[in-house]
Amino acid sequence: MDWLLTVAQFLVNEVLSVPAFLIGIITAVGLMALRRPVGQVVGGALKATLGFLLIGAGATLVVASLAPLGVMIQGATGAQGVVPTNEAIAGIAQAEYGAQVSWLMILGFAVSLVLARFTPLRYVFLTGHHMLFMATLLTIVLASADYAPAVVVGLGGLVLGILMVSLPAFAHPWTRRVTGDDSIAIGHFGTAAYVAAGAVGSKVGRNSRSTEDLRLPESLRFLRDSMVATALSMVIMYVVLAVAFLARRGSETAFEAFDGGATGVGDYVMQSVTQGLQFGVAVAVILFGVRTILAELVPAFQGIAAKAVPGAIPALDAPIVFPYAQNAVLIGFLSSFTGGLVGLAVLSVWLNPWLGLALILPGLVPHFFTGGAAGVYGNASGGRVGAVTGGFLNGLMITFLPALLLQVLGDFGDANTTFGDTDFGWVGIATGYPAMLGAPGIALIVLVGAAILGAAIMWQKRVVDTGWDPAPHRERAGAAAGTGGSGAGGAAPQPAMAAKIAPPRGAPTPPPPPTA
C-alpha cells in the first residue's frame, strides 16, 4: 500500500496543488473535447500554464515587496501577535498530517466533480492551492477532535467537495456583475467577504461613481494608468512607514528591514521607493497572467461542458477579477488594511482582555489579495463607496474570524500563525465546535454540509438561474472593464469576458457608460 500513498502524495503535492499544472491539464482536456488539432491543444495548454505561472510570479513579487513593509508596520506600531499566513500553517500541518491531507484533497475534488455533474451547481473549482489549504484546515480540525483517519478523510472530503461547488454559487450574482457574463466564477475561499462586499456595497453606494471612472485634471492623467497609480501609492506608503520606523527604532534596527540592511539613510529611503515600484510591477504581471489564462481557459471549458459537466463554469483564483476594476483593487487593499488595524485595536482593548482572543496582526498578503477582490466586488455594486466599504469589511472579517478559529485548532492554535481568508474562519468554526462533541459531532457536521449544499442549490435555481441582478440601479457590468487606464496595467479583459448581461424583460435599456 506504500506505493498508493506515494502516488496520492505525488498527485496532491506535485500536480493538484500546483494551479498552473492543473489549469494546463484542464485546458488540454477541454480543447481535445472540442477536437482541436494537436498543435492547438499543446499550445493552448502551455499558454494556460504560462498564464498561471505569470500570476504566481506576480504573487511572489507581491509577497517579496510586502515583507519589509510588514516589518516596518510592526516596528513602527510596536504591535505583537499572530500573523495569519495560509502557506505557513499548511506547511506546519503537512509534517504531521500529510497523508490525510492528501487523501482528503483527492476525495474532495472527486466529490466536487460528481456534484457539479449531477446537481445544478456546475462549478469546477480550479484553485489548487486553496483546495490544499481547506483540506489542511479540515484535517487539523477533525484530527484535533481525535477522529480516526478514515473519518477525517471521508467526512472532510465530503465537506470540501460541497464547499467547492457551493461557495462559487453564492457569490455568482456578484461575480456576474463584475465580469458581465457567466464565463467564470470565483473559486477562492474568501467568498464570504466578497458576498458581503457586494451586498453592502449596493446599499451604501447607490449613487457612487465607479472607481474606474475617476475624472482627473490633465496634469494628473498619468494616474489613470493603474500600474502607475498603484506604484505611486505604494511608494508613498513605503516612505512614510520607513521614516516612522526609523524615527521609532533607530537606524541600526530599521536598516535591517531589508535583507542585508541599508548602508545609510539615503539608501534606506531609496530601497523603500524601489520596493513600492516593484509592487506596481507585480500587480501588472498578475493582470497580464490573468488575461493570458482567460484567453485559453474559457474556450477550453466549452469542450468540458459539452462532455463531462454540461454547462460547466471554471471557478478561479481571486486575481481573476482584478482586470475588471484595477483602481478598486488598490482601494480595497488599503481599506482592508485599515479594517485590519481597527480590528486589531478592538481585539487589544476589548476582546483580548475579556475573552482572551489572540491579537491578529494585519498580514499584508491576505489583505492585498482578498481586500483587492472585495474592493472589486464592492465597486461593482456600490462604486467607490462600495469599494471602500467592501475592503473595510474584509479587513474586519479576516481579523476577527482567525481569532475565533484559533480556539478549534488544537495544538496548532499555538503556532503563532493561522489561516487568513474568511471562509477558512467560518468553515473551521462550523466544523470545529461540533467536532468537539465526539461521535455526535459527525452527524452535526454532515448536517452542516447538507445545509450548505441545499442552500446553494436553492440559491442557484431561484437567484442565479433567474438572472437576479444585485445592483439593478447601476450600470451593467463589463462596461467599466476597459476603463482601467492605458498601458500594461489598463488593457481590457478578453471580449468574451466583457460581454454585457442582457437586461430583464421590460427593463429600460441601460445608459451608455460614462466617459472620463
Contact 195, 147 (CB under 8 A): no
Strand ranges inside 246-353, DSSP E: 313-316
Question: DSSP letters along 326-368, please?
Answer: HHHHHHHHHHHHHHHHHHHHHIIIIIHHHH-PPPB---HHHHH
Q: What is the mean pLDDT of residues 301-328?
A: 83
Q: What does each C-alpha distance from 298 to 123, 127, 294, 351 come to in angstroms?
A: 13, 15, 6, 46
Residue 341 has pLDDT above 70, yes or no: yes
Q: Give 496's pLDDT tier (boundaries 50, 70, 90).
A: very low
Residue 222 has pLDDT above 50, yes or no: yes
Question: DSSP letters along 149-188, please?
Answer: HHHHHHHHHHHHHHHHHHHHHHHHHHHHHHHSSSS-EE-S
**What is the C-alpha separation between 319 and 60, in angstroms, rounded?**
13
Percent of the chain residues past pLDDT 90, beyond the cut: 37
Q: What is the DSSP letter of 11?
A: I
Question: DSSP letters along 35-91, please?
Answer: T--HHHHHHHHHHHHHHHHHHHHHHHHHHHHHHHHHHHHHHHH---SB---HHHHHH
Per-range mean pLDDT, top range of 62-71, 96-105, 483-492: 96-105
Q: What is the mean pLDDT of residues 404-411?
A: 86
Q: Give 267's pLDDT tier (boundaries 50, 70, 90).
A: confident
Place of cell 493570458: 292
Residue 69 has pLDDT above 60, yes or no: yes
* Segment 467-479, tens digit of pLDDT: 999 988 776 544 4
